[in-house]
Amino acid sequence: MTTRSSIKFRLLLTLLIAIVVAGGWYGWHYLQTPDKKTSQSDSHEGGSGKKAGKAGHHFGGNRTTPVYAGVAKQADVAVYLNALGTVKANASVTVTSRVTGELKKVYFQEGQYVKQGELIAQIDDRSYQATLAQNEGALAQNEALLHNAKTTLARYQKLAKENSISVQDVQEQMATVGQYEGIVATAKAQIISAKLNIAYAKIKAPISGYIGLLEVDQGNLISSDSTAITTITQTNPITATFSIPQQHLQEVLQGLRRHQEFPVTLFDQTGAKTLATGKLTNISNSIDSDTGTIKLKALFSNDNEALYPNQFVNVRLQVKELKHAIVIPKAALQLNDNGDFVFVIGPDNKVKKHMVEAGPVDGVDWVVILSGVQAGDKLVTTGIDNLSDGSTVKIIASSKDVQ
């Protein structure tokens, strides 16, 4: 048993040693064998210096750069001024009473829309009714006295012709008639005044619009022209005020004087949603010396009630339109120390830097070029960082919506 175990152990040990020796020899042989591809590459570089030089030159300045391109074109471009504005009621009236008295009745609900001339409140008018009756009685009495004086005057004039009465008596009677005529005229005026006070006691809406909150409750004593009852604001049409820099004053002012129409568009605070379109109506008579701006007012229809008094809005004023202007994709316009420039792609696919004069922006994707580019020029829009004058490019695609 012992001999067999020893023999097995020696066989296993010999087998392990053989495996280790074979593995080491294979690894050493692998490390010492040169890679054919590497050898061939090294040999190629060592023996073909001219080819290597040409290859290095190919990957240098004359390489072909893939780019996206856009095309300059002609378009009619609207020129806008943007500003922040505030919506204002076209008319706003604080409702008060023209007479003093108790607020007897309120005929409206807060927030209600009322039409011009509609009865909205009633002041107790009994004292004015009494004054009217008193003045009407005085008028009747004085009219009777006037009639009697005129009759007496006619009789005196007849007697004067017969020399039966003195001229002085006739003149005195004429004065009496004139006195009563004055009293009658005064009584009539007092009646008109009393009727007017009665009419004022019926408070009617001075304009059409929405009523605000009730400032004084029914049953309170109202003082003439001093106690505010409520307010009414006219919101259709409605206005918006905004300011523009003074350097644009003459362009807008002279246009208004020539009755030119300036379209105005209002947007919400984010600038994404259009609220209303209208037109410019007024311009302030002075420049704000603190800000160097001039205030303008525009009028809008507000049928959908998208605008509300004191609402903040973004304003876009169209000041003019450029006919047949050259426009290019915004991505093509670049800026360096010398100014704005673009890379124009020639027929040979080589680019040339053109210095340009940029104008106003046209929408989101376009910009007006006043000089330096012609309609139909192909311009690099993407991949500009790797270009210089004379670089060769390959147009892999045209920018979206620039054809």
pLDDT per position as a tens digit, 212-241: 999 999 999 999 878 899 999 999 999 999
Are residues 197 and 159 part of one domain? yes
Distances (CA, A) of 225 to 59, 84, 94, 105, 228: 90, 36, 10, 18, 8
Task: Tell which of 275, 294, 322 closes a domain.
Answer: 322
Distances (CA, A) of 102 to 90, 216, 230, 250, 265: 31, 11, 16, 55, 47
Query: Using CB atoms within 10 A of its CB, is residue 206 exposed (0-12), middle (13-18) or buried (19+)?
Result: middle
The band of 2, judged by pLDDT with boundaries at 50, 70 and 90, is very low
pLDDT tens profile 310-343 = 999 999 999 988 899 999 999 999 988 889 999 9
Please state the pTM of the whole predicted model: 0.63
Of residues 274, 294, 276, 277, the one with CA closest to residue 285: 294
Residue 285 structural domain: 82-88+231-322
Cα dihedral sign, 231-232-235-241: negative
Classify strands 64-71 and 392-398 as parallel, antiparallel or unpaired: parallel
CA distance 221 to 100: 7
Q: How high is the pLDDT of residue 59?
A: 41
Tell me phi and psi for residue 261, to 5 degrees. Answer: -95, 130
CA distance 182 to 133: 20
Are residues 309 and 363 part of one domain? no
pLDDT tens profile 113-172 = 999 999 999 999 999 999 999 999 999 999 999 999 999 999 988 888 888 888 898 899
Cα dihedral sign, 7-12-17-22: positive
Are residues 142 and 219 part of one domain? yes
Are residues 299 and 199 part of one domain? no
CATH number at residue 195: 2.40.50.100
CA distance 376 to 379: 9
Q: How high is the pLDDT of residue 154?
A: 92
CA distance 328 to 196: 70
Percentage of the residues of the chain whose pLDDT score is greater than 90: 63
CA distance 276 to 10: 102
Is residue 9 scored above 90 in pLDDT? no
First to last CA, the chain: 97
Are residues 122 and 214 part of one domain? yes
| Structure tokens that stand for 10 in this block | 């020696």
CA distance 385 to 271: 32
Which residues neighbour 80 within 8 Å (Cβ) at sequence distance 6 or greater?
316, 317, 318, 319, 360
Q: In which residue are the tokens 């012992």 written?
A: 2
> Is residue 346 assigned to a domain?
yes
> Is residue 33 assigned to a domain?
no
